[in-house]
């Protein structure tokens, strides 16, 4: 059985990071599915989904690492073409990826003790992000 659910988040951009695990758990509960996988995607080319221990230190470390890898003030051909200043956001999102698959069993996501699913909005402006989840499983 495949059940598709969506939710939205208003973001601030600028590598803003949100713990979306509680919403995924809530929507999984609505499905009544017991075992399977949750395929989660954020459509767009300036946001990503990953897992991390969602605590201030780890979140700050991730932001710092991304700034070193794809600096906001770097030279990006995308900015020359579109003049929108978010070339760094496209590079970061391409490196991090827009989707994640999480298995579940007995109606519970299979994540580590301190592991949460996060949305990272890299864009240089606030956005409303829609996250789509396809729960594929059985009751």
What pLDDT is stored for residue 63 in this prediction? 98
pTM assigned to the model: 0.95
The tokens for 106 are 């007995």
State which residues form the domain around 131: 2-138
pLDDT digits (tens, 9 = 90+) for 25-40: 999 999 999 999 999 9
Smallest Cα–Cα separation from 117: which of 17, 19, 13, 40? 19
pLDDT of residue 103: 98
**Total domains, the chain:** 1
Average pLDDT over residues 51-66: 98
Report, as an integer, the average pLDDT of 57-78.
Answer: 97
Per-residue model confidence (pLDDT) at position 71: 97
CATH of the domain at 52: 2.60.120.460
What percent of the chain stands above pLDDT 90? 99
Contact 21, 109 (CB under 8 A): yes
Residue 4's pLDDT is: 98
Structure tokens that stand for 67 in this block: 């700034």
Across the range 78-105, mean pLDDT stands at 96
Q: For residue 90, what pLDDT band results from cuts at 50, 70 and 90?
A: very high
């Amino acid at each position: 059985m495949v059940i598709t659910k969506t939710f939205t988040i208003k973001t601030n951009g600028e590598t803003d990071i949100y713990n979306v695990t509680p919403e995924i758990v809530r929507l999984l509960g609505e499905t009544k599915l017991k075992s399977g996988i949750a395929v989660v995607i954020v459509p767009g080319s300036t946001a990503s989904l990953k897992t991390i221990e969602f605590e201030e230190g780890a979140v700050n470390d991730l932001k710092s690492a991304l700034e070193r890898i794809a600096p906001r003030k770097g030279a990006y051909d995308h900015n020359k073409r579109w003049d929108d200043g978010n070339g760094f956001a496209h590079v970061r999102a391409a490196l991090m990826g827009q989707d994640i698959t999480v298995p579940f069993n007995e109606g519970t996501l299979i994540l580590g003790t301190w592991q949460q699913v996060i949305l990272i909005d890299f864009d240089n402006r606030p956005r409303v992000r829609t996250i789509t989840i396809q729960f594929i499983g059985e009751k």
